[in-house]
Amino acid sequence: MNQNTTEPVAATETLAEVPEHVLRGLPEEVRLFPSAVDKTRIGVWATKPILKGKKFGPFVGDKKKRSQVKNNVYMWEVYYPNLGWMCIDATDPEKGNWLRYVNWACSGEEQNLFPLEINRAIYYKTLKPIAPGEELLVWYNGEDNPEIAAAIEEERASARSKRSSPKSRKATASAWRPDALHQRPRTSPGSIGRSKLRLQPSSRDHSSKSRHSGCSLTAPEVTWNQ
């Protein structure tokens, strides 16, 4: 690291600062503890076995233009046909949910979650089984990863099946309103993994110094619930 380079010191997150609504929204399989990959952040840890293919979400935050975002660590960018690129920004913990505290993997080998876009909302899905005592870590490999590509296609097939079911067609017909013909939808129905998720290199690039500093998967000293 260049010793002449001055970087701002990140404030260390504490469990005491986590909003109550985030704690109430935690799934039973996970808890919040200090992260092992970034000592300044809270992380999400499994306390019970989590099966491969488990889906969490959606990621919650304020919808903003990129120019309005001051911190790109806690956000995703999603493409809306009528709005362009918009950020789902959870920098403010009060605006986000527990997925805000899922940290970025230091390498593809450490990754156990991947992001999945469904109808312009971001979900995290488990790429492999996660054992108690493991930190949940996400990375976006795109559809170049065969396992992720297969999972995305599975979601697309599921969405197509739901839309073609008699119950779905009946619900669509009963919800029809004449004035809806003049309204432009904000999302395209059934869009799975097509938002062209945009990553910010400063926080999501494996080569970034900030992603490699202090990377360690040593679990904190806690007692995992059995």
Confidence of residue 123 (pLDDT cuts 50, 70, 90): very high
Do the beta carbons of residue 51 and residue 129 sit within 8 Å?
Answer: yes
Task: For domain 15-160, give the CATH number.
Answer: 2.170.270.10
pLDDT digits over 2-51, tens only? 444 444 556 899 999 999 999 999 999 999 999 999 999 999 999 999 99
Q: Token match 């808890």: residue?
A: 31
Q: Which residue has the higher pLDDT, 86 or 186?
A: 86
Calculate what percentage of the chain has a pLDDT beyond 90. 46
Q: Which residue has the higher pLDDT, 216 or 202?
A: 216
Q: Where are the domains of the chain?
A: 15-160
Per-residue pLDDT, 169? 56
Is the entire prediction scored with pTM above 0.75?
no
Do the beta carbons of residue 73 and residue 203 sit within 8 Å?
Answer: yes
Average pLDDT score, the chain: 76
